[in-house]
Amino acid sequence: MRYFIFISYKGTSYHGWQLQPNSITVQKTLDNALSVVLNEKISTIGAGRTDAGVHALLFCAHFDSISTDLSTNPKLIFKLNSYLPKDISVNSIFKVLPDANARFSAISRTYNYYISRIKDPFFDNSSWFLPGNPNVAAMNEACQKLLSHSDFTSFSKLHSDTKTNICKIYSATWEEKENRLVFTIKADRFLRNMVRAIVGTMIEIGFGKINIEEFEQIIVDKNRCGAGKSAPAQGLFLTDIEYPVEIFI
């Protein structure tokens, strides 16, 4: 049977989600926990890859198991959470159709990026400390430009194995919350490093280093070298993944 497992994790201590030789990753840690608790070899496939230091309030992976219906086992999540380290938690497990795929069945993904305008030790690993008062109105104007484009090569990690840089961005906005700025973006898919590159470039708008017209030209040019530096990983959170309801059994 195939299952979707929904988890949360703090990415500070991990080299991202995806399996890597000689590195501690979220996928490796989860696979190990599932294999031990279910007493069978389990290999998960994630909804995407998050880079080292990036967090997930909600992440999904799928796996196949020969065990009895896991979605009806009330003790399974407790056992998994008891085995997993404190920075990874299992939230739910659902039985899905045999061809359901955590990555390719997703309809949309949503990310938040957090900026702290004051030094705050409690947000040290979960936000970018950036003192000052960037022009949020100008940054929101730039958000509207994202919605009218689909090729985001300028915000993609160089030399990635992505076959296409076409994405559909559904919404993007900046909000001020006390001493924090929160960027929220929702799209059908994201390129590697895309959100952090967008944030880094928009901050240049906020501090008057580039204007809206120059921002849009960066998109049109399809050249990563023209965009700003990527924002630090610790401020980025994957917050939601949407799936069609019909894949859940």
Question: Which amino acids are annotated catalytic?
Answer: 51
CA neighbor of 204 nearest in space, from 229, 185, 179: 229
> CA-CA distance, 106 to 23, in Å (whole number)?
27
Strand pairing partners for 110? 186, 240
Packing angle of the helix pair 194-206, 212-221 (nearest 10 deg): 150
Q: What is the 3 state secondary structure string of 14-67?
A: CCCCCCCCCCCCHHHHHHHHHHHHHCCCCCCEECCCCCCCCEEEEEEEEEECCC
